[in-house]
Chain A
Amino acid sequence: MTKGSLILSRRTGFLFLLPTLAFVVFFIIGPFVWVFWLSFTNQTLTGVTAVAPRFVGLANYLRLLDFGTWMTRGEFGNALRNSAQFVFGSAIVGQAGLGLLIAWAFYRRRGSLREVIYTLVILAWIIPDVVVAFTWMAFLDRDAGTLNAVLRFLHLASVDWLIKQPLLSIIIFNTWRGTAFSMLLFSSALATIPPSYLETAEVVGASGWQKFRDIIFPLIRNHILTDIILVTLWTFNTFTPFLLTGGGPTFKSELISIHTFRIAFQFFEFGRGGAIAVMMLLINLALALTYLAILRRKEVGT
């Protein structure tokens, strides 16, 4: 673009950007900086420490990372471990894995079957959180739930899902909830592969798995990485499982997002809550920077 085709002066451009800058400073950058400060204080919402919070140094962090107790119920380590299992199970294996399988199964297929399956998967993705939480509560109910009805029909033992298997329940739930994004991303990635690549492989008699491993996978590797990082980031931060299990029973499904919520908004300990939030934000930042690095490599590589 040449300078001559500029329609707005730099000053006018800045004025048009001003509202956005205000929102970003107030609600994104400001909070990001503030939470670091908070995490070094003993700020609470009521009492003396609400009016005059004291600087407590690393005390909040030392408490979180006290390796003697941090893995016990309701502590930071326990929540971190739950989140790690939740992300691995529902984001990487669940959403990315199932999304890739569905996209691959319908690769080069058109027609109403594909439309029906895609619509169902997308439906699970667009319905509001609380609505899916209610319908899943009914689905997983011990006595009346549909899942146990199906299990009994198949002569399998029914399970009290939300009580006995809370973490597994929210992993399955979150897979159901979010697979659509990965499925759509992989569908459009697969659509860019020239059919001639695969036709050549078919002539020499390659199996489906061989075609996937030797042709498809190398071509969509960056898409897979991108997808895994994005769904990891979203899954790591999601709060929706709270609506299904409340983090319980006995903190067995307390994710790090739910842990933060409990410390900051039920106990109103903003100093300690801030320290947990800083940990989360740093993990988010690491994921986002990895994502950017992949994007840049993709631009250089192609």
Chain B
Amino acid sequence: MKLARFILVRVAFSLFVTLVAAFFTLPLLWLVLTPFNPRGTLAVEIPAAPTLANFRLVFANTFAMRALLNSAILGLGAMLIVTLVATMSAYALSRADVPGRDFLIYALILFSSVVTGTAAMVPIFLLIFYLGLIDAHLGVILVFTGGLLPTAIFIMRDFVEGLPRSYEESALVSGATPRQMFKDVILPLVRPGMVVVAIWTFVNVWGAFLIPFILLRSPTNMPASVAIYSFYTEAGTPIITLTSSYALLFALPVLVLYLLVNWRYGFRFFGGIKR
């Protein structure tokens, strides 16, 4: 009886794991195989003669490369502002007597998760429109920064709280100003936290579709996430060779950064902070 149940549990477990593995692998096969197939279609085929020709097509396509550069500009721009501003705020929240600080942080997170998605883009679009920032990278960067800051501060606070106060206390004794203390004492110490926030911001902005899609107009300004929808034949079907290799290329930085964070900080940490 006990043996029967043991076997039953083992069989059910194996069946379940096989199904889960299939469900999560099968949709990805196309992405892994097609970019290396010179005659790629929507079907999953192991290329008879794997080649990098499709990637050469992408690299020769100035529009596609320009779009990757735009993605990098948006990602790096938001990354710089979010990381700096979040570090400053986390520092203030940790070291100054801010009235109701815990309430403040929770209210921030709460509001940023409420004012989100297409619903938030209705007034934000008009705001950017009246500011004259439609079709400007700056507008997109500012909107991303506003949306990502609360969570970034939340992540950053853990790192700042973990720093010993003794360094700052001795800096205070030697007469350092708050600005010097932040720049020369805090920034070097809190660097691991800044790396995490920076990577998290970059990955979020790099992959995002909706905000640049709504706020940008001219094809030359589009990031790769929007530009990928431009590789169509005259018949209106996507050019598979170009699109598939571009898609893989576009996903690559995210995968590399994920591996980096996974290796440096462990896997659960990154898991917990992605929205």
Contact = CB atoms under 8 A, between A and B. Distances in A.
Interface string A13-53: 11111011001101111111011001000010100000000
Nearest to A116: B21
Nearest to A261: B118
A264 B120 CA distance: 11
Interface stretch (A62-70, A215-223, A235-243): A235-243
Contact of A138 (B34, B143, B168): B34
A126 B42 CA distance: 22
A20 to B, nearest CB: 4
B209 A129 contact: yes
A124 B95 CA distance: 39
B274 interface: yes
B126 interface: yes
A122 B271 contact: yes
Given A26-B127, A135-B27, A181-B271, A284 B114 contact: yes
B146 interface: yes
Given A7-B96, A24-B108, A281-B119, A31 B251 contact: no
B17 A117 contact: yes
A121 B31 CA distance: 16
Contacts of B124: 27, 31
Interface residues of B, number: 95
A131 B89 contact: no
A151 B48 CA distance: 24
B255 interface: yes
B43 A149 contact: yes
B97 A10 contact: yes
B21 A29 contact: no
Contact of A237 (B97, B119, B168, B169): B119
B4 interface: no
B143 A27 contact: yes
Contacts of A208: 9
A260 B122 contact: yes
Given A3-B97, A127-B254, A135 B92 contact: no
A120 B115 contact: no
B236 to A, nearest CB: 13
B254 A23 contact: no
Contact of A20 (B153, B229, B267): B153
9 contacts: A7-B96, A28-B146, A105-B17, A127-B251, A146-B30, A184-B271, A239-B209, A264-B122, A284-B116
Given A137-B42, A208-B9, 14 more contacts: A16-B91, A28-B108, A43-B126, A105-B13, A117-B21, A120-B21, A130-B247, A131-B248, A141-B43, A144-B42, A146-B27, A274-B123, A277-B120, A280-B117
